[in-house]
């Protein structure tokens, strides 16, 4: 394979050398996506995820394992958005920037991948947990606890860190006799065994396996939602079961919210996955790559991934009455504290 696998995965423009004769279409795409849309999406996402952290760590929301998973997902999304936003303004092709910018690029790229990989597996974890809670409610009370969610989240972090760690050794900074710096892939990163073996291992554990799990369990959850809709119609006939009906409605909304999160996740990640497979197909068969078209598509795919990391707050606010109440309570407390401070 001719390309380093991280470049294939992230599809960033942080390539080692500047491309001569960059077409106007690519320059326009880079400007619109990286300089306008990415900052806008990232700003909205950072604001929303910061509010998510405040709400999900509030005492009113603690004690629920799903909320803990969503809290970890918010943290992963925050780190992903900060790093990807920073990388949109820093490129290895800019040889005039300070050496610290090059070191930032070298280490921010794997950290961005790490944040994204954690988000992928956290999404899988709460999807499976929700399926257990819906289909096996008695066992769910035993298995779906905050303590177990913390253990699972820690295991996911370690698993993602170990499997992303080799990326930290993929690039190095070279300084020429004129004091100019550039990024170059290391001998380790260019070794054919690494490019093929680690690449396919990475793609398997962070793309194929989690996506298969999400398709499977999300499909089962959708079926459960349809079955629950039928059962609620039956419960409406009995006034004595109104409390049970209310509880089922609340659980239905939670499940629907998680299903929506996963669907949006898949829709935003699939174009990136298709592009990855397409470039892999060309590389494996030594076919010429339409590199400019791939870079244009890569910018758009990265924007979709960042959009996915930015929308969860608005989904929580739309689906969860408890989330809205907690958010309102937090702002009311802040308003009260500010008024008291002003009076004093």
Q: Give the pair of three-digit tokens for residue 216.
A: 């499977």
- pLDDT surpasses 70 at 14: no
Q: How many CA atoms lie within 13 A of 108 on its CB side?
A: 22
Number of C-beta neighbours around residue 116 at 10 A: 26
pLDDT attached to residue 233: 58
Q: Tens digits of per-residue pLDDT, 209-265?
A: 999 999 999 888 888 877 766 665 555 555 445 555 565 666 777 888 888 999 999
For residue 172, what are the β-bridge partners? 184
For residue 175, what are the β-bridge partners? 181
79 occurs within a structural domain: yes
263 occurs within a structural domain: yes
Number of C-beta neighbours around residue 143 at 10 A: 13
pLDDT attached to residue 313: 86
242 occurs within a structural domain: yes
pLDDT attached to residue 29: 87
How many distinct structural domains can be found in the chain? 1
224 occurs within a structural domain: yes
User: Lowest mean pLDDT: which of 38-47, 73-82, 293-302, 325-334?
Assistant: 325-334
318 occurs within a structural domain: yes
Give the domain CATH number at 253: 1.20.1070.10
Q: pTM of the full predicted structure?
A: 0.84
The domain containing residue 79 runs over which residues?
A: 5-18+39-331
25 occurs within a structural domain: no
Cα–Cα dist 253/299, whole Å? 34
Q: Tens digits of per-residue pLDDT, 156-182?
A: 999 999 999 999 998 888 887 777 888
339 occurs within a structural domain: no
Q: Tens digits of per-residue pLDDT, 308-324?
A: 999 988 888 888 888 88
What band does 186 get if pLDDT is binned at 50, 70 and 90? Answer: confident
Cα–Cα dist 126/144, whole Å? 9
């Amino acid at each position: 394979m001719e390309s380093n696998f991280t470049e294939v995965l992230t599809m960033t423009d942080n390539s080692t050398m500047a491309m001569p004769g960059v077409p106007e279409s690519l320059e326009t795409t880079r400007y619109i996506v990286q300089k306008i849309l990415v900052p806008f999406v990232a700003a909205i996402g950072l604001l929303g995820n910061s509010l998510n952290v405040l709400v999900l760590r509030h005492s009113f929301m603690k004690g629920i394992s799903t909320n803990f998973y969503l809290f970890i997902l918010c943290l992963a999304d925050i780190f992903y958005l900060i790093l990807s936003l920073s990388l949109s303004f820093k490129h290895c092709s800019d040889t005039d920037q300070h050496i610290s910018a090059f070191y930032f690029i070298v280490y921010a790229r794997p950290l961005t991948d790490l944040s994204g990989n954690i988000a992928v597996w956290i999404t899988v974890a709460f999807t499976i947990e929700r399926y257990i809670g819906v289909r096996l409610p008695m066992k769910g009370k035993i298995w779906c606890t905050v303590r177990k969610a913390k253990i699972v989240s820690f295991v996911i972090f370690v698993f993602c860190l170990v499997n992303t760690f080799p990326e930290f050794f993929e690039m190095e900074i070279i300084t020429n006799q004129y004091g100019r710096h550039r990024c170059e892939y290391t001998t380790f990163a260019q070794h054919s065994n690494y490019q093929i073996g680690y690449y396919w291992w990475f793609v398997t554990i962070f793309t194929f396996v989690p996506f298969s799990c999400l398709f499977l369990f999300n499909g089962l959850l959708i079926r459960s939602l349809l079955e629950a809709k039928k059962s609620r119609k039956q419960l409406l006939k009995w006034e004595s079961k109104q409390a049970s009906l209310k509880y089922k409605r609340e659980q239905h909304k939670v499940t629907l919210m998680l299903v929506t999160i996963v669907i949006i996740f898949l829709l935003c990640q699939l174009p990136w996955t298709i592009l990855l497979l397409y470039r892999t197909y060309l590389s494996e068969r030594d076919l010429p790559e339409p590199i400019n078209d791939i870079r244009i598509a890569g910018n758009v795919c990265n924007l979709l991934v960042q959009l996915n990391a930015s929308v969860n707050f608005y989904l929580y606010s739309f689906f969860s009455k408890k989330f809205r109440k907690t958010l309102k309570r937090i702002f009311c407390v802040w308003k009260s504290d500010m008024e008291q401070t002003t009076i004093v």
